[in-house]
A and B are shown apart, each in its own frame.
Chain A
Amino acid sequence: DGGITQSPKYLFRKEGQNVTLSCEQNLNHDAMYWYRQDPGQGLRLIYYSQIVNDFQKGDIAEGYSVSREKKESFPLTVTSAQKNPTAFYLCASSIRDLGNEKLFFGSGTQLSVL
């Protein structure tokens, strides 16, 4: 069953703690993305990666870090420097062929601060 798997579904972070959100895809997509969703603000791009071992900052990268060591995996770490991390985090992937481009999304991780 092809798709994008995000885990955990719910995550709680203590003050000063780093937490990592998992994103795995078996769609053989080159590009992967992390978005943050806050009520009334839509989706904002945190980081994106077009190929393995390469990634770029999006519009709100401060306080976050990523890695892309494997094509299938694009984990997001929310560091202690992110002072307002409570949000719904969405991972997505896409292919790059002209005419077939569209995003496929995981089911999201809700991160809350204890």
Chain B
Amino acid sequence: AQSVAQPEDQVNVAEGNPLTVKCTYSVSGNPYLFWYVQYPNRGLQFLLKYITGDNLVKGSYGFEAEFNKSQTSFHLKKPSALVSDSALYFCAVRDAAFNKFYFGSGTKLNVKP
């Protein structure tokens, strides 16, 4: 079965500092991993995905994610956080056999001025 875990309910960071939002995964077969962001009372927006290739994936709004097969992790990163990055972030994995997507529990990112 495919699953992802986000061990932190909340991450607090000061504006201008680097940020990391953690995600670990458990999959059978090749991992298809995604990050999404949700602003209050809105749907989710796609940030980036890992299918194959380079372990460092670049996405929207300056975000990037590092795929680590040995640690089964796919952490989201940004070199310099903005207050406007404050939102709820979800890691997800796609079950390719059934084209289903499973989501983590979400991590609330708070960026303070």
- Chain A contacts to B: CB under 8 angstroms: 4, 6, 31, 33, 35, 40-45, 48, 50, 56, 58, 88, 90, 92, 94, 96, 98-99, 101-108, 110
Give how many A-B residue pairs fall within 8 Å (CB-CB).
64
Q: How far is the CA of A72 from the CA of B4 in the complex (A)?
A: 30
Q: Contact: A31 with B41, CB < 8 Å?
A: no
Q: How far is the CA of A107 from the CA of B41 in the complex (A)?
A: 7
- With A42-B105, A99-B51 in contact, do A108 and B42 touch (Cβ < 8 Å)? yes
Q: Across the interface, which residues of B come within 8 angstroms of A45, CB to CB?
A: 100-102
Q: Across the interface, name the chain A residue whose C-beta is closest to B106.
A: A42
| A75: min CB distance to chain B, Å | 17
Q: Contact: B99 with A96, CB < 8 Å?
A: yes
| A52: min CB distance to chain B, Å | 15
- For B54-91 the 0/1 string (1 means CB < 8 A from A) is 00000000000000000000000000000000000010
Q: Across the interface, name the chain A residue whose C-beta is closest to B6.
A: A42
- With A103-B46, A105-B43, A108-B41 in contact, do A42 and B99 touch (Cβ < 8 Å)? no
B44 within 8 A of partner (CB): yes
Q: How many residues of B contact A (CB 8 A)?
A: 25
Closest 9 CB pairs of A and B: A105-B43, A42-B105, A43-B103, A105-B44, A42-B103, A107-B43, A42-B106, A102-B46, A106-B43
| B91: min CB distance to chain A, Å | 9
Q: Contact: A101 with B42, CB < 8 Å?
A: no
- With A40-B9, A41-B105 in contact, do A104 and B99 touch (Cβ < 8 Å)? no
Q: How far is the CA of A84 from the CA of B36 in the complex (A)?
A: 26
Q: Contact: B100 with A43, CB < 8 Å?
A: no
